[in-house]
Amino acid sequence: MIEKLLGFRKHYLVSNISWVISANIIVKIIALFYTIFLARSLGPSNFGIHVFGLTAFGLVSTLTDFGYNRLLTREVAKDKRQMDIFLGNIISLSLFWSVISAIFIGYLMFLIDSDVLRRSASMIFILTIIPNTLAATLLASLSALEKFKSVAISTVFLSLAVTILGTISIIVFKSGVIGIAITFLIAHIILFSFLLFCSIKNKFKIKFLYDFNFWQKTFKQSLPYGILTILGLLYFKIDTILLTVLKGNEITGYYGASYRFLESVHFIPASVMMVLFPVMSRLHKGSVFELKKLYLRSMLTLGVVSIPVFLFLLVFAEVIITTLYGNMYQPSIAVLKILSVAVIFMFLHVPGAHLLFATEKYLKTVVVLSVFTVLLNIVLNLIFIPRYGILAASIITVISEAISFVIFSLLIWLKVLKLDEGKI
């Protein structure tokens, strides 16, 4: 079905998509049940601390990556002979920034966060960026070579490690939110070790290179990707941060319980586009016509898939929340109903975003538009969260997704789809 809809006959492409989607289905199922377990075991307030810690980890890890790995995937996909120099330098550069960032952000959080438990858990999550950065660079290298079987296995491996270690921490050691953070760190160390084994098996020449001219050039090339990645994470996570600051841990817990389902279904478009991103990078240099055809067909496919997902979350929101989380999470029901609408815009938006990221041509324009959408999101949340809480955050998420889809679709129509007058 995927092969027919996307118009490709190459077996490797369908195989790669199947591996990634299958792995992500497994990961999301595991993550969902683990989230339910944590939400029930920790309660809304401590679960809110856990959600905030994960958000802090995501923001800092994005800052340390700064688009280097996306650049690695894009450039090595074009010319595989560049692997050694890109891998050696980017893994060194990323490690350097991750250590500096972990120390700086951890110390800053120690100074400004008065909640001792939240501060301690968040600092452990932030420390996890060091092994995570190394693992992410190796994953980007495997993706560039289209070794998506190894990528898929690694993703499942991390999910199992986090879940098993975290469950043992809660049931056996009764360690609470701090124990969960520690097991998260340990799981990422194990993942890096596993990826190191996979990389050696794939005959990667892993050396720490310190070519500062290359670092400077890489920084300039990856700057738009880095800015966009940070903006993207702020776009998705600023509501969680503001809810924690303005409304407290418990309200964040209610919101995080519902938002988990939005994150869970995001794997569908993300998995497809992870595989298609290297293909889009090559097509930007080759056939514009084939590029447009790939974009439109992938958007159509994901648009069709989004409808039953949206309807399921909307209709069964109450059953889902009360059955999985229990009656203590009643406020999450309305949140999930509202967030379900965002699924349609999210699925439609992802192909366009990857189309634009796959080349340098439109990155400056994308950065400007992304700054606008993020600022709009932040301003709306600051205005309405203090008065309306999680309902405001949910509605603003839907509005932001709709606006982003419209804006970036217009950019694609004006800059990409009109480049060729032939039929698609």
Q: What is the mean pLDDT of residues 243-271?
A: 85
Q: DSSP states of 275-291 as a string?
A: HHHHHHHHHHHS-HHHH
- Which of the four pLDDT bands, split at 50, 70 and 90, describes residue 9? very low
- Which of the four pLDDT bands, split at 50, 70 and 90, describes residue 420? low
Give per-residue burial for 7-24: e unless 16+ CB within 10 Å, then b. ebeeeebbebbbbbbebb
pLDDT in tens, 355-385: 777 666 777 777 788 888 889 989 999 999 9
- Which of the four pLDDT bands, split at 50, 70 and 90, describes residue 67? confident
Which of the pair, 35 or 77, is modelled with greater confidence? 35
Please report, for the chain, the start and end positions of each structural domain, with discontinuous segments joined by +: 2-417
> What average pLDDT is seen over the chain?
82
- Which of the four pLDDT bands, split at 50, 70 and 90, describes residue 419? low
Distance of CA 182 to the CA centre of its chain: 21
- Which of the four pLDDT bands, split at 50, 70 and 90, describes residue 343? very high
* Backbone CA torsion sign across 330, 335, 341, 346: negative
pLDDT in tens, 118-166: 888 988 998 898 899 888 888 888 777 777 777 888 888 899 999 999 9
What's the confidence (pLDDT) of residue 284? 63
pLDDT at 8 over 50: no
What's the confidence (pLDDT) of residue 286? 63
Total number of residues shown for the chain: 424
Which of the pair, 283 or 261, is modelled with greater confidence? 261
What's the confidence (pLDDT) of residue 285? 65
% of the chain at pLDDT higher than 90: 20
What are the angstrom distances between the C-alpha of 359 and each of 146, 224, 281, 284, 421?
18, 11, 6, 7, 21
pLDDT in tens, 153-210: 888 889 999 999 999 999 988 888 999 999 999 999 999 988 888 777 767 777 777 7
pLDDT in tens, 207-226: 777 778 877 877 777 777 67
- pTM to 2 decimals? 0.70
Nearest to 151 by CA among 189, 191, 188, 190: 191
What's the confidence (pLDDT) of residue 316? 93
Under 8 Å between Cβ of 195 and 62: no
Nearest to 130 by CA among 158, 100, 153: 100
